[in-house]
Amino acid sequence: MTRRHDLDTLRIGAFGLLILYHVAMAYVAGWDFHLKSVHTAEWLQWPMIALNRWRMPLLFAISGIALGLCLPAQGRWRFALRRGGRLLLPLLFGIVAVVSLQAYCEAVDKGDVTPGLGAFLWRYWQFRPWPGASFSGAAYGFTWNHLWYLAYLI
């Protein structure tokens, strides 16, 4: 299969907007997010609403088109297993090494966990529920937060 540079360009643009969207979430007044800045602005709501209407459908359309183009005519189970393996490792790494830091920052910011990254990570990596903690996924003991997209692609 030849490389589709048009899809690559769309994907890069979509993920660039997605990154800007998530950075701006910390500054939008009146919207809940994992971490919020003390400096918020109401005017950010309108561009965020406009972007919110089509950002996820665009990502799913690009992913569906790319999957459809690379799906083999035969050997689909082997393809699915290889794809699942390639996506599962980054998802697991993200849950353990990346999102755990976000959960720590959120829990400390909300006052539910005392500062101390080492103690938090030791407890977090046991994958047990956190009664009373208010970071996303505390009821399950871990979270994939914004890596849910990888799980959906699997």
pLDDT 10s digits, 60-116:
899 888 888 888 878 888 888 888 888 999 999 999 999 999 899 988 888 888 889
CA distance 104 to 110: 10
Alpha-carbon distance values, 25 to 21, 55, 57, 81, 153 (Å): 6, 14, 19, 35, 24
Last residue of a domain, one of 39, 56, 71: 71
Q: Pick the closest to residue 69 from 148, 10, 16 (CA basis).
A: 10
Shared-domain flag, residues 97 and 126: yes
* CA 119/CA 109 separation, integer angstroms: 16
- Whether residues 65 and 84 share a domain: the answer is no
Domain ends where: 36, 71, 106? 71
Report pLDDT digits (tens) over 5-51. Answer: 998 899 899 989 989 999 999 999 999 898 899 999 999 999 999 99
Which pTM does this prediction carry? 0.77
Identify whether residues 55 and 104 lie together within a single domain: no
Domain extent, residue 27, equals: 1-71
Same structural domain, 64 and 81: no
Is residue 150 domain-shared with residue 81, that is, in the same domain? Answer: yes
Q: Are residues 31 and 100 both part of a single domain?
A: no
Spatial distance between the Cα atoms of 12 and 14, rounded to a whole number of angstroms: 6
Given 71, 87, 118, which residue is the final one in a domain?
71
Q: Report the candidate in 136, 132, 103, 134 with the shortest Cα–Cα distance to residue 120.
A: 103
25 and 47 in a single domain? The answer is: yes
Could you give the number of structural domains in the chain?
2
Q: Is residue 3 domain-shared with residue 50, that is, in the same domain?
A: yes
